[in-house]
Chains A and B, each alone.
Chain A
Amino acid sequence: MNGRLRAVWPPVIIAVIFLAAWQLLVVVQDIKPFLLPSPSLILGNFFGDFSLMFNAALYTGTTAILGLMFGTVVGLVTALIAQRFGVVNKLITPLAAGLATVPIIALTPILNNMFSITSRTPKVIITMIIVFFPIFVNVTRGLIQVQPVQLELMRSMNARPRTVLRQLRIPNAIPFFFTAMKIAAPLSVIAALVSEYFGGPQQGLGSRIASSAANTAYGRAWAYVVASIITGLIFYLIVLAVERWAAPWTGRARSA
């Protein structure tokens, strides 16, 4: 417990010093809010309109979770297929890389046309596409990159391919999966948020940031940014907690 406290304090102190310096700079230099609002203005907006913040985060967070779930499932299934059939792996990987380079800014308006712009669907699809790639790449590697000696051991014990998959490849891929999730989870919030910039329902964080800024309510726009950061952090922390519970051996020095 003592150690954990010691790990928490330094970043907290640095954050407080940083915010104080920021506040001082804005007040002393009389910087206008459209350039840089002060922390007190931002936090005032944040807590003043907390229920607005909360609802916006809830809307965008729901989009992100749906996209994260579907993207993860598709990524996992594709990785299993790629591991099972080497040929498929060679076919899918370039396609997946291509998908990862699709500019979501360009794709969102198209998906908005294909599906109902008022629905959540196009945003969930965008999030899915973003989430899919890190999951697929990492999990495929985890399934394939097994110690050769462990494979020989399984063969010496007359294990079937299915047993090798269940007892060796999948457990081996779990640390890779969580590494991918730590990237994908906060990324899903960003993807959901950015996809809201292109119209549709106005409840989300992305829409709120855009409209607040357009209405010169800079303090509020920044307050929504704070809400976005907190949402992303919550996603990340949930992944950390699940990893610690489900795979306590990850992050340890691996035995020979």
Chain B
Amino acid sequence: MSVTSPVSTTAVQATGIWKVFNEGQANEVTALQDINLTVAPGEFISLIGPSGCGKSTLLRVIADLTQPTKGSAEVAGMSAAEARKQQRYGMAFQQAALFDWRTVQRNVELPLELQGWSKSDRAARAMELLEMVQLADFASHRPWELSGGMQQRVAIARSLAVDPPLLLMDEPFGALDEMTRERMQNELLRIRQETGKSVIFVTHSIPEAVYLSDRVVVMSPRPGRITDIVSVSLGERDEDTREADAFYASVTEVREALRGRTSGGAARARVGEV
């Protein structure tokens, strides 16, 4: 296996993934039941569903932060474990998880430092990324001096540091206010456009999922499973998109999928069972 990314036709391939907590005990929970999901290179996928539907668990299986009970996840054509070792994905969480003892710039440098980059290369790359998230002026600030939205942008810059083909994002805007949140969504789409990354984005906001995604994966709890996949075709997003009829139609479609019924009458294009 070569160290450079093998040419792969899928960004992520999840095959028959089961995750059972406390197996065989009275409090056994099936967090994931037979999950099959394919993400194409450059595709933006949202995982949406109520608490306990296993969306974060699925993300963690793909990130090799937890092991599936059955089944397997592949990232860029290699096992999830191998992909993690080779840094084929970057990750962002609901908490920015910045290190207070590092400046903003050195927080972004952290993944590069772990990869053994030289000091000057690290600094150059970090500045490039901070410019992308429009925080170059704050390079020498400490994380606590930044607002929540700015901290999250630093975290996104950090997740992009090693230039991985895939971004895994676990409710990264969940703690932000609505206005900041919408700005961050536009930022993320712009960055994704500039870099061509594939993204798997966990959220519990329907408009957010629809605005960002090419496909919205709808999940439901007990047992955690995929119940529907809604394709969104809104074209290039801008400020008007949020008020377009097509946007509301997709929001309605996702909402009804979450309620567990197929949308009334209107036969919408749906990429069905993957």
Q: Which residues of A approach B to under 8 Å, CB–CB?
A: 147, 149-150, 152-153, 155-159, 163, 167-168, 171, 174, 247-249, 252-256
- Cross-chain contact A167 with B95 (CB below 8 angstroms): no
Bound Cα distance A254, B111 (Å): 21
Residues of chain B with a CB closer than 8 A to A158's CB: 84-85, 87, 114
- Chain B interface size, under 10 / 10 to 19 / 20 to 34 / 35 or more: 20 to 34
Compute how far the CA of A26 lies from the CA of B94 in the bound complex, rounded to whole angstroms: 64
Cβ of A173 to closest chain B Cβ, rounded Å: 11
**Binding stretch for chain A, among B8-16, B27-35, B97-105, B256-264:** B97-105
Given A255-B100, A255-B144: A149 touches B110 (CB 8 Å cut-off):
no
Min CB distance A56 to B, Å, is: 40
Say whether A252 contacts B114, CB under 8 Å. no
Pair B101/A153 contact, Cβ less than 8 Å = no
**B146 close to chain A: CB less than 8 A:** yes
Residues in B neighbouring A153, C-beta threshold 8 A = 91, 93, 97
Which one, B85, B89, B100, contacts A249 given CB within 8 A?
B100
Would you give 12 A-B contacts (Cβ < 8 Å), ordered by A?
A: A150-B99, A156-B168, A157-B114, A163-B114, A168-B99, A249-B101, A249-B144, A252-B142, A255-B100, A255-B144, A256-B97, A256-B151
Q: Which residues of chain A are within 8 angstroms of B85 by Cβ–Cβ distance? A: 158
A149 to B243: give the CA distance in the assembly, Å.
35
Beta-carbon contact of A147 and B95 below 8 Å:
yes
At the interface, yes or no: B175 with Cβ under 8 Å from chain A? yes
Give Cα A214 to B85, complex, Å. 72
Give the complex CA separation of A168 and B101 in angstroms. Answer: 9
Q: Do A155 and B100 form a contact, CB below 8 Å, given A167-B110, A256-B151?
A: no
Query: Is B199 engaged at the interface, CB distance under 8 Å to the other chain?
Result: no
| A156–B84 touching, CB < 8 Å | yes
Residues of A within 8 A of B61 (CB): none
Q: Are A157 and B96 in contact (CB under 8 A)?
A: no
User: Are A249 and B175 in contact, CB atoms less than 8 angstroms apart?
Assistant: no
Residue B160 at the A interface, CB < 8 A? no
The distance from the CB of A196 to the nearest CB of chain B, in whole angstroms, is 40
Of B97, B113, B151, the contact of A149 (CB 8 Å cutoff) = B97
Contact B110 A147 (CB under 8 A): no
List, in ascending order, chain A residues with CB within 8 A of B175's CB.
256
CA gap between A45 and B257 in the complex, in Å: 86
Partner of B148, one of A156, A157, A253, A256: A256
Q: Nearest B residue to A254 by beta-carbon distance?
A: B100
The 8 Å CB contact of A253, one of B94, B110, B113, B144, is B144
Could you tell me if A255 and B91 are in contact, using CB atoms closer than 8 angstroms?
no
B73 contacts the other chain (CB 8 A) = no
Closest Cβ of chain A to B261, distance in Å, is: 36
B63 interface residue (CB < 8 Å to A):
yes
The answer to whether A252 and B101 touch (CB under 8 A), given A152-B93, A158-B87, is: no
- Is the pair A147, B97 in contact by a Cβ cutoff of 8 Å? yes
B143 at the interface (CB under 8 A from A): yes
Top 8 nearest A-B pairs by Cβ distance?
Answer: A255-B143, A171-B101, A156-B91, A249-B100, A256-B95, A149-B97, A255-B144, A149-B95
Whose C-beta in chain B lies nearest to the C-beta of A160? B114
Assess whether A171 is in contact with B99, with CB atoms less than 8 Å apart. Answer: yes
A156 to B84 Cα, complex, angstroms: 6
Give the chain A neighbours of B91 by CB distance below 8 A.
Answer: 152-153, 156
A159 and B99 CA atoms in complex are apart in Å by 15
> Is B93 in contact with A247, judged by CB distance below 8 angstroms?
no
CB neighbours of B65 from chain A (8 A):
152, 155-156
* B97, B143, B168: residue with the most chain A Cβ atoms closer than 10 Å: B97
